[in-house]
Amino acid sequence: MSFLSKEYLGLEIKRSFKGNMIWSFSLGLSLLLIVAIYPMVEDMMTALTEMLEYLESQNSPFIAMMEQFGGIPTNAMEYFATEGAMFMQLLGGIYAAIIGFGAINKDEKERTAEVLYVLPISRSKLLTSKILSIAFNLFIFTIIQIGLIEIGFLAVAPDTDHSLILSFGLFDYMMFLMIAYMSLGLAMFMKPNQSSLIAIAIPFPFYIMTVIASATNNDILKALKYASPFTFTEPVGWLKSDHVFELANFLIFTGFTLIILIASYLRYKKRQII
């Protein structure tokens, strides 16, 4: 017995294709531009390094603050980590939240849920199809981002360790999935016809928590990193050779996401459209 509706899965992918391409190429081309201008800002980075060396000789506290955010980039990879990867994660997280929330909310706002719920397809199959559609769309989205980023690096810094970019993209994809499925769960437990902008409330606080945890020496605030899925893909740390993978954070949010998906299946069977 099939656990999904292939016809409905195809319909979901088709109806979201245009929006997915717009988001994918809008962000991807912006990231390509950020990488492409690296040669133009390289001299600026050298000048900033000299200034920081002077401040360090004066024991300026500004140096410690800069180091918390990765310091001044010394190569193309570090430059991308501070200027492009953070941008990619925040906007990618927002997009993931919107499509996760919209997977449930869109049908109800457009009144197509009334038709879906009377079709000879179980709600479990409908929800599985939506979940797989989200995974497919975010996979295409991530592939386009990484592909355009790679084009930029091949043009301006061909000696870059491309395996780092690919692994970063893989775990970014997992993080996007977590945010999307959390947003889907949020939509499931809210009243129908809510604005998809509500979903933005998920990635923003998570992102801010990761930034705070990365920028402080306070042990209590540092613990915030375990409360955000952005932590295990934190770009400044990930794209450097001394990166230590935050396994605990990854396992926490993998488990949390699975719990949300199970709860969503139970809720969707009883969900009313009015």
pLDDT digits (tens, 9 = 90+) for 135-177: 999 999 999 999 999 999 999 988 888 888 999 999 999 999 9
Per-residue tokens: 228: 């955000």
DSSP state for residue 111 in the 8-state scheme? T
Q: Model confidence over 13-57: pLDDT tens digits?
A: 999 999 999 999 999 999 999 999 988 876 666 666 666 565 555
- What angle do the packed helices 17-36 and 86-109 form, to 10 degrees? 170
Rounded-to-integer distance, Cα 10 and Cα 19, Å? 15
Contact 234, 85 (CB under 8 A): no
Band of pLDDT at residue 1, cut at 50, 70 and 90 = very low
Q: What is the pLDDT of residue 69?
A: 53
- Alpha helix positions (H), the chain: 6-15, 17-36, 38-57, 61-68, 76-80, 86-109, 113-116, 123-156, 162-188, 203-215, 219-222, 235-238, 247-268
Q: What is the pLDDT of residue 67?
A: 56
Q: How many alpha carbons fall within 13 Å on the CB side of residue 154?
A: 7
Spacing of C-alpha 246 from chain mean position: 16
